Amino acid sequence: MGGSITLHREKGLNPKLTVCQCPVRGKDHDGNELVFVGARDYKQTCPKCKCVCYGGFDRKPGGGSMRKVCPKCDADCEGLNKEPLGEYEKLRMPPEPCGECAGYMKQGIIILSVKDGDPDYRTGGFWVLKEEAVKQIMDGNPEMLADVLKRRVCLMEDSVCEKLGLTKAVKKEVDA
Ligand SMILES: [Zn+2]
Ligand SMILES: [Zn+2]
């Protein structure tokens, strides 16, 4: 959706709740962002790649006129697969870091605790460490450090979190 909103005749800004698919949290959960859809109170599904766009795809010039075009696969979606949004439908956000996590990533590195020996099993620990602290912890492993500083997220086994004293620090709760 573009930056400007056309108000809905009855619903005004028409705020919608969101479902956060932020990969940091690793799970669908209620987002804390509202999206104002205004008059664009519908969704459109690309017939080719099936990606969903709330408010419909943006128009791009093509074939001599402005057409609604899928940003992922470039299919022409003009007038196709439009469905009204349900009154209480929650919008599924793209699988990108949400506003909250993006903020933490600016402040430092997000540490997520996982079960020893099973990196897919999140145990719910969530801390934000300053870069300086992470540099100290990974002093002997420059490759891993460079990778973590780039990705801004680091999975850490429970026993390591405990050794570092993180488990005694205040946990930021996540619904994992
Ligand atoms: Zn597509
Ligand atoms: Zn997030």
Tens place of pLDDT for every residue, the chain, 176 residues?
556 889 999 999 999 999 988 888 766 788 888 899 999 999 999 999 998 988 888 888 876 788 899 989 999 999 999 999 999 999 998 888 888 889 999 999 999 999 999 998 999 899 999 999 999 999 999 999 999 999 999 999 999 999 999 988 765 544 43
Q: Which residue, among 47, 37, 32, has the nearest Cα to 15 in the 3D structure?
A: 37
Residues with CB under 5 A from ligand 1 (ion): 46, 48-49, 70, 72-73, 75
Ligand number nearest CA of 101 is 2
From start to end of the chain, where are the E strands?
A: 15-16, 18-20, 29-30, 35-36, 42-45, 52-54, 59-62, 65-68, 82-84, 91-92, 109-115, 118-129, 153-157
* DSSP conformational letter for 8: B
Residue-level length of the chain: 176
**Ligand nearest the Cα atom of residue 73:** 1
pTM of the complete model: 0.68
pLDDT at 23: 81
**114 close to 153: Cβ distance less than 8 angstroms:** no
127: nearest Cα among 97, 99, 164: 164
Tell me, what's the pLDDT at 176? 38
Distance from residue 45's CA to the centre of ligand 1 (Å) = 8
Ligand 2 (ion): residues with CB under 5 Å are 22, 24-25, 98, 101
CA 96 to ligand 2 centroid distance, Å: 8
What's the rounded Cα separation, in Å, for the pair 102 and 116?
27
Q: How far is CA 167 from the centre of its chain?
A: 26
Residue 27 has a pLDDT of 67
Cα 123 to averaged position of ligand 2 atoms, centre (Å):
16
Q: What is the pLDDT of residue 174?
A: 44
Q: Give the CA count within 13 Å in the CB-facing half-sphere of 33.
A: 17
In the chain, count H helices and then E strands: 4, 13
What separation in Å is there between the alpha carbon of 27 and the centre of ligand 2? 10
